[in-house]
Chains A and B, each alone.
Chain A
């Protein structure tokens, strides 16, 4: 059993609760290949990941998994059941599995998924796999995190799932039709044609139950990676990912500032003036924007120094 997990796990918990990723850890990221696995619930995403881990471990690659399940809108609790299917890898030194609840974040992943991917990347995992919730067609955020997006479906899906499919298809780099064993849709003996020069999305039949098609799937993901590297698309994707991540962080920071500013005495006066028809709402927004940007400057300086202090205190995680 691996001791190093003790530190990584605590870091993940801090990130999950909105804490920042230490700068020196961020500098060490960029080496892992990030795979996103998405698709409707019950198609076998977790079971496939269990098989992928097998395959990757045989190639001596280390694997970090982030498996996301929905938070119950009523109780705020969650039943995290993905790990169950991968539990046999728990003890493997080269595998780290973490289940996360969405905590009401929409988009198929959690607020902190990019940060946690960074943490696993910095910790030295060769492959980081993100399993999304799989409930709706708006779950496309995984494409902003992953290098390769695998969309998993199964034959004979009902109407509802067909609808969800259409949104997902746009982000699929590899399409998997799982549960081939149940529907006698046996995988063709040779995999689909694909080349590292021009990417045509392959459709691969798999069975997480029998293991059929898993090698083909791994092969397709490797070729897709090669394609990304050769075509320069990898850099493009990662630039897009950075932009998306910074945008998200910026938005949440701004949202927090807005809420904070609206509590202040200045805002109260402005709002009262609008109510009394002394100001119109647009003027109010002008004034408040100035107010917010002013306080933003002050607080961000403060935040930056305190983060640096924290970072120093934190010991380096693995490697």
Chain B
């Protein structure tokens, strides 16, 4: 039996806006995924360590405080440094269009802004990882 997709949902940096991340975590659980939720105020190092130890297929990063460029860039750097392969990274939150382009260049596959549905996020993950 193939295991359900395993997803890490985390918030990096000093940002307490947790509603979106939690709603996505609950939504992906109800879409049949195994979701590890590590809450707010993770350092990029903690996120990567968790992703490795949990052997997740997907990492979802959330940011609403404007710190996304610095934080997410570091996550992507560490991912490379630690030679983690085959993990899909997506992001969500309040992220200006210009930055979305930059984040995609860093290897973040998709950025879900305000108004995105759980259904769309789940479909994106399933399509990309299967």
Query: What is A's interface to B at a CB cutoff of 8 Å?
Result: 1, 3, 5-6, 9-10, 12-13, 16-18, 71-72, 74-81, 83-84, 87-88, 90-91, 96-99, 101, 103
Contact = CB atoms under 8 A, between A and B. Distances in A.
Interface string B1-24: 111100000000000000000000
Contacts of B30: 72, 74-75, 77
Given A5-B52, A90-B50, A79 B3 contact: no
B32 A98 contact: no
Given A18-B1, A84-B38, 9 more contacts: A9-B53, A17-B3, A76-B32, A79-B25, A83-B37, A83-B50, A87-B46, A97-B54, A98-B53
A101 B3 CA distance: 10
Question: Do most interface residues of chain A lie in helix, strand or loop, or is the interface mixed?
Answer: mixed
9 contacts: A13-B3, A13-B55, A75-B32, A77-B31, A80-B35, A83-B50, A87-B38, A96-B53, A99-B36
B40 to A, nearest CB: 10
Given A77-B28, A98-B54, A6 B35 contact: no
Interface of B: 1-4, 25-26, 28-39, 42-43, 45-46, 48-50, 52-55, 78, 82-84
B57 to A, nearest CB: 10
A36 B29 CA distance: 26
Nearest to B45: A91
B49 A91 contact: yes
B32 A84 contact: no
The DSSP consensus for interface residues of chain B is mixed
B42 A87 contact: yes
Given A6-B83, A6-B84, A87-B42, A79 B37 contact: yes
* Pairs A-B, 8 closest by C-beta atoms: A90-B49, A77-B29, A9-B55, A90-B46, A77-B32, A79-B29, A80-B36, A13-B55
Contacts of A101: 4, 34
Contact of A5 (B29, B38, B53): B53
Contacts of B43: 91
A74 B31 CA distance: 10
B34 A78 contact: yes
A87 B29 contact: no
Nearest to A8: B53
A10 B57 CA distance: 12
